[in-house]
Amino acid sequence: MAEAAESPGDPRTTSPRPLFAGLSEISISQDIPVEGEITIPMRSRIREFDSSTLNESVQNTIMRDLKAVGKKFMHVLYPRKSNTLLRDWDLWGPLVLCVTLALMLQRGSADNENDGGPQFAEVFVIIWFGAVTITLNSKLLGGNISFFQSLCVLGYCILPLTVALLVCRLVLLAKPGPINFIVRLFVVIVMFAWSIVASTAFLADSQPPNRKALAIYPVFLFYFVISWMILTFAP
Amino acid sequence: MATTATPAGGSRNGTGPEWGGFEENIQGGGSAVIDMENMDDTSGSSFEDMGELHQRLREEEVDADAAAAEEEDGEFLGMKGFKGQLSRQVADQMWQAGKRQASRAFSLYANIDILRPYFDVEPAQVRSRLLESMIPIKMVNFPQKIAGELYGPLMLVFTLVAILLHGMKTSDTIIREGTLMGTAIGTCFGYWLGVSSFIYFLAYLCNAQITMLQMLALLGYGLFGHCIVLLVTYNIHLHALFYLFWLLVGGLSTLRMVAVLVSRTVGPTQRLLLCGTLAALHMLFLLYLHFAYHKVVEGILDTLEGPNIPPMQRVPRDIPAVLPDARPPARVLNTTVKAVEVILQSH
């Protein structure tokens, strides 16, 4: 079958194929176990997965994953109420963003190492433990979202702040001064608001309706800390 | 364990998802009865259990399918195929057993449902408790009620961490052998957990009627005053303002905690010991947080008033000999406007 060997979709998820398009409606979040594997129990597809993903070229695998990540980036940049981030979760995007952020925020080791800037490990740990804490909090408040889905959403919604960091670095190449600071402050505030709106669009539906504010407040604190690290960064 | 569709003793929506029934169990509030129910009702309380069931069913399907497929291969390959099939089956079974054991251990020890009743709050409740934490109540004749929840205190501690981070950045604090974030988290959580435990221990000695959870909640809500004071005074560097806020806001939240503790303790000596310790620790913590991360204004003082005024000392964290000069010179009040300008320019 043509779709077995050359499917552009992610084998773990319900990639939209014309033949099985209706089945993508079946695997909604209730069926997702804690590990996040989303497979449709269809016997004939199991053997096809084994052969199709092992025997295909590396380029195919990488391009497929990159396309999935890119699609999610688009969803974050233009947040609509959709299930894509939740349904087809993956942690590649959050990892890439987190590593980028941590690499750009660290000070060079040639400088005085005691100058108080965050090191790579600090940023990395803050992001991941912050995301884990927020997930635990939202689960304890009664939200019906899986652990890794929540990590996925929070990680992807760091994208606007990464863009803000890139812009800040470019702005810092210019002459320093109060105008410099005001521009950076404005950019970081806008991106901070964008991150919160994006994550709210995805996470709010999984909470009980009267407790949305309780679940969103730690997200606000989390992105505030990251925004503060970006704003006070000076190479 | 995962096969029960109805949670034990719980009411259920006819059409809602299975785990929806659990939430109706805990709507009654955080009483001991609800705790027992939650302890028993591990099935259906999280859809991970359902997920595990689905996973197991799916795996059994896959295994049956793979075994059927392997049989065909085995027949084709003869003896070698048979041995391969056998070793694969053994490996599969070991994997299954190990995985099942791991997930059982995981669901036993990492069962966050133990904490679920302490997070059963509404936003209106949190708001009213935050406001009440600043209002001391006069009646000490019978024990005052303490809400045993952990959401508010935990969020307040995290807010304090964020405010502290902001303060450390604006004061250009240098931390050696540590990180800014680590120090902030360590300070705030250490205070909350450590002082709560210490006061709980003292309460045990003084025969006060308070549980550990209530002490954690009380002290956590007491940090609301600290958050307000630090938020204002890390941005407006007026010493008189800080002392005013310290006495007023810090004092109010301390008085509230003291009143609650007094109402739960019998005997004047015990009351004095317990409340004196708590008041001292709480007020001194606020003082420490302000002065340890205070913005240096010595440059301004030197240029404007001359070098004969002792500058306020910034305290790097690893130099023990230098103590913060806690008595500010009176003339700093005239330079605060210029201080704000310099702060803006230095960004």
Cross-chain CB nearest to B65 (options A31, A46, A232)? A46
What ipTM was predicted for this assembly?
Answer: 0.73
- At B35, is the pLDDT very low, low, confident or very high (cuts 50, 70, 90)? very low
For chain A, which residues make up each domain, given as ranges? 56-107+116-233
Q: Do B23 and A39 touch (CB under 8 A)?
A: no
Residue numbers in A near B48 (CB within 8 A)? 33-34, 146
Per DSSP, helices labelled H in A9-158 are: 43-55, 58-77, 84-87, 92-105, 120-140, 147-156
Structural domain containing residue B94: 85-120
Same-domain status, B103 and B216: no
B233 with B110, same domain? no
Q: Kindly state whether residue B246 falls inside one of the protein's structural domains.
A: yes
For B152-171, what is each residue's pLDDT tens digit?
Answer: 999 999 999 999 888 887 77
A66-108 pLDDT per residue, tens? 898 888 888 888 877 677 767 778 899 999 999 999 988 886 5
pLDDT tens readout for residues A205-215: 888 888 888 98
Same structural domain for residues B237 and B298? yes
Note whether B199 and B93 are same-domain residues.
Answer: no
Residues of B in contact with A181 (CB under 8 A): 347
Query: How far is Cα B244 from Cα B324, in angstroms, rounded to an integer?
Result: 19
Kindly state whether residue B342 falls inside one of the protein's structural domains: no
- Domain membership flag for residue B315: no
A159-172 vs A178-203: helix crossing angle, rounded to 10? 170
Chain A residues close to B19, C-beta within 8 Å: 144
- Give the number of other Cβ atoms within 10 Å of residue B27's Cβ: 9
Q: Do A228 and B166 touch (CB under 8 A)?
A: yes
Which chain B residue shows the shortest CA-CA distance from A176? B347
B152-211 residues touching A, CB cutoff 8 A: 154-155, 158-159, 162, 165-166, 168-169, 172-176, 179-182
Give me chain A's average pLDDT, please: 79
Instruction: State whether B51 and A34 contact (CB < 8 Å).
Output: yes
Q: Which carries the bigger pLDDT value, residue A79 or residue A109?
A: A79
In residues, how long is chain A?
235
**Domain annotation covers residue B54:** no
Radius of gyration of chain A (CA): 20
pLDDT band (50, 70, 90) for residue B151: very high
The answer to whether residue B32 neighbours chain A at the CB level (below 8 Å) is no
Residues B97 and B228 in one domain: no
Flag whether pLDDT at B285 surpasses 80. Answer: yes
Same domain, B297 and B150: yes
**What is the pLDDT, as a whole number, of residue B26?**
47
Closest C-alpha among B6, B101, B100 to residue B44:
B6
- For an interface test with B, the pick among A29, A34, A223 (most B C-beta atoms closer than 10 Å) comes out as A34
The answer to whether residues B248 and B154 belong to one domain is yes
CB contact under 8 A, A118 and B115: no
The full 3-state SS of chain B, as one line of letters, equals: CCCCCCCCCCCCCCCCCCCHHHHHHHHHCCCHHHHHHHHHCCCCCCHHHHHHHHHHHHHHHHHHHHHHHHHHHHHHHCHHHHHHHHHHHHHHHHHHHHHHHHHHHHHHHCCHHHCHHHHCCCHHHHHHHHHHCCCCCCCCCCCCCCCCCCHHHHHHHHHHHHHHHHHHHHCCCCCCCCCHHHHHHHHHHHHHHHHHHHHHHHHHHCCCCCCHHHHHHHHHHHHHHHHHHHHHHCCCCCHHHHHHHHHHHHHHHHHHHHHHHHHCCCCHHHHHHHHHHHHHHHHHHHHHHHHHCCCCCHHHHHHHHCCCCCCCCCCCCCCCCCCCCCCCCHHHHHHHHHHHHHHHHHC
**B249 within 8 A of B228, measured Cβ to Cβ:** yes
Å between A35 CA and nearest CA of chain B? 9
B291 assigned to some structural domain:
yes
Question: 304-343 in B: which are within 8 Å (CB) of A?
Answer: none
DSSP secondary-structure letter at A179? Answer: H
Is the same domain home to B147 and B206?
yes
Residues in chain A with CB shorter than 8 Å from the CB of B66 are 46
d(CA B162, nearest CA chain A) in Å: 6
Residues B89 and B162 in one domain: no
- pLDDT recorded at residue B79: 62
| A47: its two tokens | 């053997």
Residue B167 lies in a domain: yes
Minimum Cα–Cα distance from B60: chain A residue: A41
Nearest residue, CB atoms, B19 vs list A144, A210, A224: A144
pTM of the model: 0.65
Q: How many domains does chain B have?
A: 2
B113 assigned to some structural domain: yes
- Quick one: B200 and B111 in the same domain? no
Q: Quick one: pLDDT band at residue A49, thresholds 50, 70, 90?
A: low
Region B211-232: mean pLDDT is: 94
Give a yes or no: residue B106 inside a domain: yes
pLDDT-above-90 percentage for chain A: 28
CB contact under 8 A, A122 and B179: yes
Query: Considering only CB atoms, which chain B residues are within 8 Å of A142?
Result: 23, 116, 120
In tens, the pLDDT along B47-66 reads 555 556 666 777 776 666 66
Does residue B291 share a domain with residue B225?
A: yes
Nearest CA-CA distance, residue B287 and chain A, Å: 23
Quick one: pLDDT at residue B67?
Answer: 59
Q: Which of B47, B176, B180 sits opposite A30 (nearest CB)?
A: B47
B183 contact residues in A (CB cutoff 8 A): none
Query: Cβ–Cβ of B123/A232 closer than 8 Å?
Result: no
**Rounded to 10 degrees, what is the CA torsion of A78, A81, A84, A85?**
70
Q: Which chain A residues are Cβ-neighbours of B166 within 8 angstroms? A: 228
Measured CB to CB, residues of chain A less than 8 Å from chain B are 30-35, 37, 39, 41, 43, 46-47, 114-116, 118-119, 122, 126, 133, 136-137, 139-142, 144, 146, 178, 181, 208, 210-211, 213-214, 217-218, 221, 224-225, 228, 232
Judged against a pLDDT cut of 70, whether residue B294 lies above it is answered with no
Same domain, B104 and B185: no
Tell me if B155 and A232 make a contact (CB, 8 A cut-off): no
Phi, psi of B210 (to 5 degrees): -150, 140
Rounded to whole angstroms, how far apart are CA atoms A123 and A106? 8
Q: Select from B61, B69, B165 the Cβ nearest to the Cβ of A228.
A: B165
